Amino acid sequence: MQKAGGAAAGSDQLSQLSALYRDLLRCRRCPGMFGPPVYGQAVISPVMMIGQAPGTKEIEQCRPFCWTAGKTLFRWFQSIGMDEATFRERVLMSAVCRCFPGKNPKAGDRVPDRLEVENCSGWWRGEMQISRPRLIIPVGKLAIAQFADQLPAGARLDGLVGQQWPYRSAAGLTADLIPLPHPSGASTWFKMEPGKSLLHAGLGLIAAHPAWQDLLRRHIVEPSSHNA
């Protein structure tokens, strides 16, 4: 059972996280982005996942990874013991950008520009500082790039995925980084070698991590309802 002091601290963290999400919903910093801002359930967790940006379906449903890429992503996590419902309740789901960046005229979704990424960085950094995760899972190149100062310079996906990296924030938070590729249906990287084997190795590292193991076996602070 959780001690009273720990429960009180967890409740305070959850209140801070809920307040952050109320502020996020009012954010209109980027005129080229389409809202409303999307976030996951408010939950204090030792594991934090950071995606790239929502798509049109995520904006419609106000729910991260709710469409095709999400089906692939949650199959990955199902393979290491956690189904989608449990993942959403127990993992802090974040993203580099929280609004839809619009379509790329050539194909796919537009990649958020440098200013948009910078404008939105306070939200995921705030989530990280409140929840203080021990394991951070950046998903996709844009999310991985947010930690570039602590990863090998110029490394490609095949030099990052399938490995675990130490992380220390400017505010003193220490955690482990285990990058994953983006599960987009347009990507073939994780469907062929070496991506297929590296994805498998990365998921194995997540499965063995003490923070992930904690989520599989213990109760954590109850999440609030979405958009509460």
pLDDT tens-place values along the chain, 228 residues long: 445 556 667 789 999 999 999 999 999 999 999 999 999 999 999 999 999 999 999 999 999 999 999 999 999 999 999 999 999 999 999 999 999 999 988 878 899 999 999 999 999 999 999 999 999 999 999 999 999 999 999 899 999 999 999 999 988 999 999 999 999 988 899 999 999 999 999 999 999 999 999 999 875 444 444 443
Distances (CA, A) of 184 to 3, 49, 163: 42, 16, 21
Domains recognised in the chain with CATH numbers? 4-217 (3.40.470.10)
Using alpha carbons, select from 107, 97, 86 the residue that is nearest to residue 41: 86
Distances (CA, A) of 30 to 17, 52, 122, 211, 220: 22, 16, 14, 34, 34
Secondary structure (3-state) at 162: coil
Q: Which residue has the tokens 């963290």?
A: 13
Contact 137, 48 (CB under 8 A): yes
